[in-house]
């Protein structure tokens, strides 16, 4: 299969493979789950709300009655929830891939903290760093892959997470862009460290372009935009796409057998289009940024990735 040949609507057979997706009850996470399930994978849908998890599972089952779907409560802003969900996921067996998608897209106007950490950074970054570390052994045993979800906003705005918790100068937009710069930088840093320790797990980044709910098909209990939202989103049709199409890049990064650790995937036209290899923003590729963020995440989460044990689990 050539690198340019990829049909997001005709995925390779994923029978026998298992994937965990964070933030799976809405938007990109839900549609990624639907696409994985349609290809025959066993999918663990995770989210904070049990009712929304049930609705998302039912929605996938309506489209794909034979889908192997399980649900798992997970709040990435809560370290206790992360550890509990990881323990449950480990007990459920094989894990081929981890899609680190959950996030606060519309941050609060005022800085809020959870567990002593700024809410957006805790949800979008710290929880995923901890979850990936907690699940590294089963991923290594399956020679699997993790995908961190970034944003095209990091190439447009220069907000770098040099003050990742935003103790000063908080704005909602800065909190969001910084968190996405951090996830991209951590994806690249994770790949370097996994290679250095000989752990057969790939770490990649992906971004969905400009994907909106108003341009996405309605799914009961999952995507039910108002008429006003549809009207406003359709005004931006030339530069936007649906959440379903936005999930294409995430799914390709997760399952394309020719994808390589350290790569990023995104829409061909940046904001929209078929998924292809993309280039992370230059500032997120700075090795010192990745190392600094790694140290900050270890300190904040008290999680150290078990590289040596993961390598042994794969042997």
Q: Cite the active site residues.
A: 176
- Beta-carbon contacts of 56 under 8 Å, excluding residues fewer than 6 positions away, are 24, 25, 26, 30, 33, 45, 47, 71, 221, 222
Radius of gyration of the chain measured on its C-alpha atoms: 18
Which residues is 117 bridged to in the sheet?
A: 114
Q: For the chain, where are the alpha helices, taking DSSP H only? A: 27-38, 50-63, 79-91, 119-121, 127-134, 136-141, 172-196, 227-235, 243-255, 287-301, 307-314
- Beta-carbon contacts of 182 under 8 Å, excluding residues fewer than 6 positions away, are 121, 124, 125, 161, 164, 293
- 3-state helix vs strand vs coil in the chain, percent to 5: 45, 15, 40
Instruction: Quote the DSSP letter at residue 282.
Output: G
How far is the C-alpha of 88 from the C-alpha of 233, rounded, in Å? Answer: 39
Q: Which phi and psi (to 5°) does residue 78 adopt? A: -120, 115
């Amino acid at each position: 299969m050539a690198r340019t040949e990829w049909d997001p609507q005709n995925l390779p057979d994923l029978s026998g493979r298992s994937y965990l997706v964070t933030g799976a009850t809405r938007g990109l996470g839900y549609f990624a789950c639907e696409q994985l399930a349609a290809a025959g994978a066993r999918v663990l849908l995770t989210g904070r709300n049990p009712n929304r998890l049930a609705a998302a599972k039912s929605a996938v089952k309506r489209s794909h009655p034979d889908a192997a779907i399980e649900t798992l409560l997970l709040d990435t802003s809560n370290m206790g929830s992360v550890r509990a969900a990881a323990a449950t996921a480990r007990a459920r067996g094989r894990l081929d891939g981890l899609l680190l998608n959950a996030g606060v897209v519309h941050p609060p106007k005022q800085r809020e903290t959870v567990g002593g950490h700024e809410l957006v950074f805790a949800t979008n970054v710290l929880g995923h760093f901890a979850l990936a570390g907690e699940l590294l052994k089963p991923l290594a045993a399956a020679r699997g892959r993790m995908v961190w979800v970034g944003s095209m906003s990091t190439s447009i705005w220069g907000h770098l997470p040099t003050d990742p918790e935003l103790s000063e100068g908080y704005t909602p937009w800065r909190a969001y862009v910084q968190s996405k710069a951090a996830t991209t930088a951590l994806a690249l840093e994770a790949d370097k460290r996994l290679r250095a320790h000989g752990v057969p797990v790939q770490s990649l980044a992906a971004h969905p372009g400009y994907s909106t709910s108003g341009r996405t098909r309605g799914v009961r209990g999952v995507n039910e935009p108002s008429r006003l939202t549809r009207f406003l989103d359709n005004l931006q049709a030339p530069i936007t796409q649906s959440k379903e199409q936005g999930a294409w890049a995430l799914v390709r990064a997760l399952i394309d057998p020719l994808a390589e650790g350290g790569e990023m995937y995104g829409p061909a036209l940046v904001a929209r289009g078929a998924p292809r290899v993309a280039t992370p923003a230059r500032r997120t590729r700075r090795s010192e940024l990745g190392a600094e963020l790694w140290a900050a995440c270890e300190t904040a989460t008290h999680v150290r990735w078990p590289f040596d044990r993961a390598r042994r689990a794969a042997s």
